[in-house]
Structure formats: C-alpha cells, structure tokens
C-alpha cells in the first residue's frame, strides 16, 4: 500500500471513529443548570468516574486498579518521570495519551502543551487524532466544557484549542525543535510504544534512543525549575536490551540513589530532587499457577490460561509478564521442544527423580518424572517449588493417585547420601496418612561435579532427543525450563531442576536390559496420557 493510500485510509478510519464518538456520547437535554453543575463536580472529583462517563466507547469494561494508580501518580506530581511498564492490551495508551491529559486540561486546568511521541510519525499522529476527535465530536465534552477545538489538524501533527492549549506529535527520533523554540514549552510529554524488535540487538541504536529521551525529549521542558514537567514513558518490557529495560534500570538507579547513603554516611540525592521518578509495573496475571488477572473486569483467569497454553512460552512471558527469556550459555531456547506424551505403558522405562535440597524453604525442591522411549527422553511431570519437603511429598502422592502410577514400573529416587532418613520420612509420613507407601529410595551412586553432570545433558538437547510434555505447560515446568536456560559456569541461578533431570537420565540410560512385561502391573491400562 502506497503512502498516499495509507493516508487516505487513515482519514477514512478517523471519520468513522468520529461518528462512533458522536453516536455514543448522548446527553440529557432536559438537565437543569444546577444538576449539570453538581454532576460535573461529582465526576471531576474522581478521574476513573470522569473517564467512564466521557468516554463510553473506551469504558465498556470497568477500569483496572492500575489505571487509577496511573492517573493518581500523574495528576498529583507536577514534576514527574514515570515509566509505565504495562503488558500489551493493558489499556495504557487510551489513559496516558487521551484520558488523563484531557482530564488535566478540562477538569483541572493543568495542561498547556502536550507533546506525544510515537514509534513513527504516522503512528504518533494517529495517537494524537484521538484527542482532536474527542474535542470536536464528543457531545458530552462539548456540552459540559464547550467547543474547545480551534486550529490545526492532527494529520499535520499539531493543533490548538480556543483557550490556547497546544497538542503536538512527533515520530521517535524526530527533531523536537518546534516544541523547544516556542515561548511555551511542553508540560506533558508522552513516549508511547516506541520499542522496536528490529533494533533491540543493536547496542548503538538502543543507547542513542535512551539519549534521545533523556536529552532531546526532556530538553523540551521549560528550564524554569518550578515549571510543570510531566513525562510518561509507556511500553511492555519485552527484551533486556530494549529502550524500556534500559530506562527502567536508569530509573531504578535514580530511585535507589535517593534512598542510600554514601561511604561517608551522607545521604545521596538525585541532581534534581524536585522531580519525582516512579516505576509502575503491571503484568497480565499475578502468577502462572492460577492465572489470577490484574484486570479481572476485562479478562478472566481462564482467558489468560488459554492464551498461555496456545502461544510460545517465551512470547507470552515477554509480551505479558515483562520477563526476558533468552538463549542460555549452555542450553538454547531453540532446543526446548514439546511433544504430546505417550501412554505411560509405552515407555521403555520411567524414573521419578528428586533433588530436594537441605534448606526447608529457600531452595527449590525438584521432583521430575522422565520417560525413555528409544532415544527420546520425555519430561512428563515436574514439581519445582520453594516449599517444604512435606509439600513435595503430598504432590507426589497426588500425582500417584491422579495418574494411577501404581500400574507402572517406576523408579522413585532422591539424590543425596546425607540425611536420607529425614528425606524419605517426609514421604513415609504422607504414606501413613493415605494408607500406602511409594517406594522412594536414595540414589547412592557416585556423582561427578555438578556443573559437569548438568552440562553433559546439553548434547541430548542439541540432538533433539529431549521433549517436554505439551500437556503440562504449567508454572513448575516453565520454572524447570528457565533453570536450564539460566544455567552457566559461575552463575548463581537455581539448578535443582536440571540436576534432578540428570539423575533421571543417568538411571534410565544405565538400564540396558529390557523386559517387555516389566512396565505394567496387572491388566489395567492407563490411557490418561
């Protein structure tokens, strides 16, 4: 599509958008003057209430707690640097780019010049169009605040209101000369969704991008130390080398600098202590165990669970959880493969192997079920939690009953020669409660260096002989994968899971004699896998 055609489509979309606004914003023509005054006062007392009344097209779902928090931070702090690290589809743009600045302008008389910076010039103009459309076609705004639009056009990236308030847009990297040379400087600047996946691996571009924000963009503010200067940067944090993550590290350093003391015991302060630095970080869900959403009014836990299961883990984590999953030094992300598990009766051998650590709750307890089929190792079940051994034992018995593991010849082993009575007793105590025992035994085989034995697994991954159970894409299994990817020499990352996997692999690989009848007890067949 040519640039001219893109522009024409943008204009057509804008016209349709304006018609939708006008249609949705009905007013009460019979409202009395005092009723109107009282209603406006009531709405203006609370941003969320104000937003949901004036923008019904955007407020079809109740606003989230973090929208209110976002507004509170911006409204209360006239000299602000805010990094809004918010997941994709969190509704950040509609509030930061439109709702909050219009609230500051119309309800609070606290905005004179807004500068909106987008990834490209067309994208920035499109974002700016939302404000002009509301001022021109929102019947509720016009009824309560009058006709405010005066001159200019969002399509040119610049327009003004009847009372002299200016709105301007720029593409990221464009010279903001027009915002710096006028008598009035911006007092509200937004940089929205400017990170590009095409550039994150280029250190020079990323460094220059951060400099553009901290030097060129921040340089647009009035030099007067008392002037209002609200700056908001909004993006999901999808890569460790992104603009977002680099800015986040910088913001953290400033925030921490304000709170720590130097070597001489004197409090360190940021060079401009009147400017408030804040980070508001919001992921899509609170955790990957039950997928409790941060915005339950919009999306359910089931929605996020389904989304998690249907898209690649790395993509979900970087788009919705601000977690960067990169290739490890030893184990590569491209070698993390999934496959649907066979019925348990079809595996040549099965081994449940545990690395339970000696600290009660600090370290991870790892308990992994691995099945061997020919040359393939299938990681079928995983317990990876920082909880007690008793909790781990309870989980094992739960799986034993759920999948009727008594019908299969499975080896149950725990790493370590020390305190094994204590370790196995946790499982025996759980067995006493249930009236039967799982035969968990100690692995008394000699061990090589921990790094060497875990590293020895890399060849299995590289040859694509290892598969994770596609029906067990849960938090525990992903923790195990994360530990593999984080594993490297000198790293202090947890490695309990990979070590347990090695223990299972070693036992399975040493089982050279096969007996076709040894894998099932009795005649019942478990078809749950």
- The packing angle between helices 475-486 and 496-509, to 10°, is 90
Least confident of 73-77, 80-84, 361-365, 510-514: 510-514
Output the CA–CA distances (angstroms, integers) from residue 443 to 32, 54, 351, 389, 425, in the order listed.
83, 67, 12, 17, 15
Q: Which letter, b or e, does each residue of 512-522 get, where b requires 16 or more Cβ atoms within 10 Å of its Cβ? A: eeeeeeebeee
pLDDT in tens, 301-310: 999 999 988 8
Least confident of 73-82, 316-325, 462-471: 316-325
Q: Are the CB atoms for 157 and 121 separated by under 8 Å? A: yes
* Higher pLDDT pick, 11 / 375: 375
Cα dihedral 153/157/162/164 (nearest 10): -160
Is residue 369 pLDDT above 70, yes or no?
yes
The pLDDT-based confidence of 56 (bands split at 50, 70, 90) is: very high
The verdict on pTM exceeding 0.85 is no
Q: What is the pLDDT of the chain when averaged over all its residues? A: 86
DSSP class of 213: I
Q: What is the pLDDT of residue 362?
A: 59
The pLDDT-based confidence of 519 (bands split at 50, 70, 90) is: very low
- Please give the domain boundaries of the chain with CATH numbers for all domains: 3-282 (3.40.50.300), 286-326 (no CATH), 333-509 (3.30.420.320)
- The packing angle between helices 121-137 and 3-24, to 10°, is 30
The pLDDT-based confidence of 327 (bands split at 50, 70, 90) is: low
- Rg over alpha carbons for the chain, rounded to the nearest Å, is 29
Q: What is the pLDDT of residue 524?
A: 36
Q: What is the mean pLDDT of residues 154-175?
A: 90
Percent of all residues in the chain with a pLDDT value above 90, rounded to a whole number: 60
State how far the Cα of 430 lies from the Cα of 394, in Å rounded to an integer. Answer: 6
Q: What is the pLDDT of residue 137?
A: 92
Q: What is the pLDDT of residue 356?
A: 85
Is residue 21 pLDDT above 80, yes or no?
yes
Least confident of 51-55, 167-171, 411-415, 522-526: 522-526
pLDDT in tens, 246-293: 999 999 989 887 544 444 444 444 456 689 999 999 999 998 889 999
Is residue 27 pLDDT above 70, yes or no?
yes
Q: What is the mean pLDDT of residues 352-381?
A: 87
Sign of CA dihedral 468, 472, 473, 474: negative
State how far the Cα of 127 lies from the Cα of 74, in Å rounded to an integer. Answer: 19
Tokens 């223990």, residue located = 503
Q: Are the CB atoms for 482 and 316 separated by under 8 Å? A: no
Q: Name which of 246, 171, 260 is nearest 216 in CA terms.
A: 171
3-state DSSP percent of the chain in helix, strand and coil, to 5: 45, 20, 40
* Higher pLDDT pick, 137 / 177: 137
Q: What is the pLDDT of residue 260?
A: 43
Percent of all residues in the chain with a pLDDT value above 70, rounded to a whole number: 87
State how far the Cα of 512 lies from the Cα of 515, in Å rounded to an integer. Answer: 10
Any residues with CB less than 8 A from the CB of 102 and at least 6 apart, and which? 54, 131, 134, 135, 141
Neighbouring-strand partners of residue 413: 353, 441
Using a 10 angstrom Cβ sphere, with 0-12 exposed, 13-18 middle and 19 or more buried, the burial of residue 387 is: middle
């Amino acid at each position: 599509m040519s640039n001219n055609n893109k522009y024409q489509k943008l204009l057509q979309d804008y016209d349709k958008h304006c018609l939708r606004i006008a249609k949705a914003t009905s007013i009460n023509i019979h409202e009395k003057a005092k009723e109107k005054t009282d209603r406006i006062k009531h709405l203006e007392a609370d941003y969320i209430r104000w937003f949901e009344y004036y923008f019904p097209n955007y407020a079809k779902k109740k606003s989230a707690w973090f929208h209110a928090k976002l507004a509170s931070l911006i409204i209360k702090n006239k000299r602000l640097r805010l990094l809004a690290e918010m997941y994709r589809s969190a509704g950040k743009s509609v509030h930061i780019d439109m709702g909050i600045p219009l609230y500051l302008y119309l309800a609070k008389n606290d905005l004179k010049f807004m500068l909106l910076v987008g990834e490209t010039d067309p994208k920035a103009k499109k974002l700016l169009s939302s404000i002009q459309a509301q001022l021109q076609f929102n019947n509720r705004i016009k009824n309560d605040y009058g006709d405010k639009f005066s001159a200019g056009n969002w399509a040119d990236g610049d327009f003004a209101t009847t009372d002299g308030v200016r709105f301007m847009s720029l593409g990221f990297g464009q010279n903001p000369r027009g915002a710096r040379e006028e008598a009035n400087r911006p007092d509200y600047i937004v940089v929205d969704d400017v990170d590009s996946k095409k550039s994150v691996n280029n250190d020079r571009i990323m460094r220059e991008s951060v400099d553009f924000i901290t030097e060129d963009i921040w340089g647009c503010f009035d030099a007067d130390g008392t002037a209002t200067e609200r700056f908001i940067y909004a993006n999901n944090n999808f890569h460790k080398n992104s603009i977002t993550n680099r800015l986040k590290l910088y913001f953290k350093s400033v925030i921490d600098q304000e709170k720590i003391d130097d070597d001489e015991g004197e409090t360190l302060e940021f060079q401009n202590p009147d400017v408030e630095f804040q980070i508001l970080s919001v992921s899509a869900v609170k955790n990957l165990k039950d997928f409790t959403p941060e915005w339950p009014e919009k999306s359910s836990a089931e929605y996020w669970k389904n989304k998690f299961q249907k898209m690649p883990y790395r993509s979900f984590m970087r788009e919705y959880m601000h977690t960067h999953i990169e290739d490890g030094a030893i184990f590569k992300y491209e070698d993390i493969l999934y496959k649907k598990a066979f019925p348990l009766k079809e595996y040549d051998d099965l081994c449940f192997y545990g690395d339970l650590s000696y600290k009660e709750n600090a370290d991870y307890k790892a308990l992994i079920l691995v099945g061997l089929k020919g040359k393939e190792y299938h990681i079928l079940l995983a317990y990876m939690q920082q909880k007690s051994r008793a909790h781990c034992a309870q989980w094992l018995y739960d799986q034993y009953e759920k999948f009727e593991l008594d019908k299969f010849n499975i080896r149950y082993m725990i790493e370590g020669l020390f305190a094994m009575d204590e370790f196995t007793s946790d499982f025996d105590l759980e067995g006493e409660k249930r009236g039967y025992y799982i035969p968990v035994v100690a692995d008394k085989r000699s061990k090589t260096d921990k790094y060497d034995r875990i590293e020895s697994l890399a060849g299995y991954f590289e040859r694509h002989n290892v598969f994770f159970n596609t029906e067990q894409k849960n938090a525990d299994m992903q923790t195990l994968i994360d530990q593999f990817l984080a594993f490297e020499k000198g790293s202090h990352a947890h490695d309990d899971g990979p070590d347990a996997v090695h223990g299972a692999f070693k036992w399975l690989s040493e089982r050279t004699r096969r007996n076709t009848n040894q894998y099932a007890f009795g005649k019942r067949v478990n078809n749950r896998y």
